[in-house]
A and B are shown apart, each in its own frame.
Chain A
Amino acid sequence: EAQVTQNPRYLITVTGKKLTVTCSQNMNHEYMSWYRQDPGLGLRQIYYSMNVEVTDKGDVPEGYKVSRKEKRNFPLILESPSPNQTSLYFCASSSRWGARATARSPLHFGNGTRLTVT
């Protein structure tokens, strides 16, 4: 089954304790991206990757890191989490992106990781 898998689904941590949220897709997609979703706001892009070893900042990259060593994996790293990073995080992938997107290339989202930083 084609899917984007995020782990963990729920995570509670304390300020300053490094954590990694994993994301894996089995569709051989080139494009992957991380978003955060907060109440009353649209999804905001954190980082994205157009291919292996190619990553770039989105709209809200501060406090986050990513890596893309393999096509299927795109982990999100919080080196020193803070309470303002408490949010619902989504990883997504697509065979195409932005202006090249077509009806056959929607974003495929994982089921989210709810992170609480105390």
Chain B
Amino acid sequence: KNQVEQSPQSLIILEGKNCTLQCNYTVSPFSNLRWYKQDTGRGPVSLTIMTFSENTKSNGRYTATLDADTKQSSLHITASQLSDSASYICVVSVSGGYNKLIFGAGTRLAVHP
């Protein structure tokens, strides 16, 4: 069964600190993995996309990694800001021409001053 599991469910950190969010998936065949940021009361917004051959991709203070062998991805946030408070959703796309995206339940991050 295609699944995407994210951990932790929620996380509280202090402003300026770093954090890492995890995404494990059992999706096959794998096409790509995308991280979205969802602010409260808004729709998700894409942060980064990674294909099978990519190990690391950065978008400002956000760095995503992908280990296709272990089927794990992480999103690292550096020097957190209050505006990073949001839910972060891992989405894996199934290959083969399907219109299939498997969504994780998200990690809710709260950055406190």
Q: Is the CB of B93 within 8 A of A99?
A: yes
| Separation of A61 and B95 alpha carbons in the complex (Å) | 22
> Of the 9-residue stretches A11-19, A41-49, A63-71, A72-80, which lies at the interface with chain B?
A41-49
- Which of B99, B103, B106 is close to A97, meaning CB atoms less than 8 Å apart? B99
> Provided the pairs A109-B44, A112-B43 are in contact, do residues A101 and B93 lie with their beta carbons within 8 angstroms?
yes
- Which of A35, A50, A98, A103 is close to B94, meaning CB atoms less than 8 Å apart? A98
Task: Count residues on chain A whose CB falls below 8 Å from chain B CBs.
Answer: 27
What is the distance, in angstroms, from A21's C-beta to the closest C-beta of chain B?
Answer: 14
Q: Is the CB of B104 within 8 A of A99?
A: no
Interface residues of A in 23-77 (CB under 8 A from B): 31, 35, 40-45, 48, 50, 56
What is the distance, in angstroms, from B55's C-beta to the closest C-beta of chain A?
Answer: 15
| Separation of A100 and B100 alpha carbons in the complex (Å) | 11
Across chains A and B, which 10 residue pairs bring their CB atoms closest together, nearest first?
Answer: A109-B43, A42-B103, A106-B46, A43-B103, A98-B99, A99-B31, A99-B95, A42-B105, A103-B49, A109-B44
Other A-B pairs, 5, CB within 8 Å; known A42-B102, A43-B44, A101-B32: A40-B105, A42-B106, A90-B44, A98-B100, A111-B43
